[in-house]
Amino acid sequence: MNTRLTWICHGATAASRKALFPLDEPLEGKAAEEAGRMAALPRADRIVTSPALRARQTAEALRLRAAIEPSLRDCDHGRWAGKSIAAIEAEEPENLIVWMTEPEATAHGGESLAELRKRVAGWMDSQSGLGGHVIAVSHAAVIRAAVAHVLQAPPSSFWLSDVEPLAILRMTSNGSRWSLRFQH
C-alpha cells in the first residue's frame, strides 16, 4: 500500500526568529499572510496538525481542515522552553553540550532527541499502513526527526538538517520503507 506524506513546517514565530526554545506561541503577523500565499496543496486523504497554536494557525492560514495529532507535537524542551540558546549556553553549558551530543540525554528535564525520533517514527509507520496522502503540519524538530528516520541515519544527523518556517518536504512509503521524494 502506497502512502504519500507531505510535511509542512509551521510559520515563523518570535521564538524562531530569536533562536528561543519554543513555548506555545502564535505565529508572527506576516507568517499567516505568507502561508496564505503558498501554492495550492494537493488533495489529501488525511490532514493533521500538531496541537501547538503556531501549527494550528499555519493549517488555518493554508485553509486546511486539520485534525489535532498529539504525536506531531514539538520536542518537549522542559525548563529551557522560552529561553534562548545563548542563555542556556551561559547558564548550563555542560547540559547543552550533553543534550546536543547524546541523543538519550534529557538535561533540560524534557524529551530526549531519541524519544522524539521514536515518537515520530511510530506515527509515520502507523500512517504507512493506511495508504493515501497525508498532510502533516508540524515543527522543524519533528521534521528533522522524520528525515533521520527515513534515511536510517545516526542520531547525530538530527543537527544536519535545517528546516525553515513554511518548508514543505514530501515522503513516500511502499508499506515496508519510507523514502524522501523530490519533485519540481
Does the pTM surpass 0.85? The reply is yes
184 pLDDT above the threshold of 80: no
Query: Looking at the predicted structure, is the pLDDT value of residue 49 above 70?
Result: yes
Total structural domains within the chain: 1
Separation CA 47–CA 49 (nearest Å): 7
Is 174 domain-assigned?
Answer: yes
Q: What pLDDT, on a 0 to 100 scale, did the predictor assign at position 39?
A: 78
153 within a domain of the structure (yes/no):
yes
The pLDDT assigned to 42 comes to 85
Grid-cell match 486539520, residue found: 66
CA atoms lying within 13 Å on the CB side of residue 173 = 25
pLDDT for 19 equals 87
Q: Tens digits of per-residue pLDDT, 91-131?
A: 999 999 999 999 999 989 999 999 999 999 999 999 999 99
38 lies in which domain range? Answer: 3-76+112-181
CATH number of the domain encompassing residue 72: 3.40.50.1240
108 vs 59: CA distance, rounded Å: 29
Residue in 125, 134, 133 with CA at minimum distance from that of residue 175 = 125
Question: What are the tens digits of pLDDT across the range 59-69?
Answer: 999 999 999 99
Cα angle 111, 18, 136 (rounded to 5 degrees) comes to 55
Specify if 94 maps to a domain. no
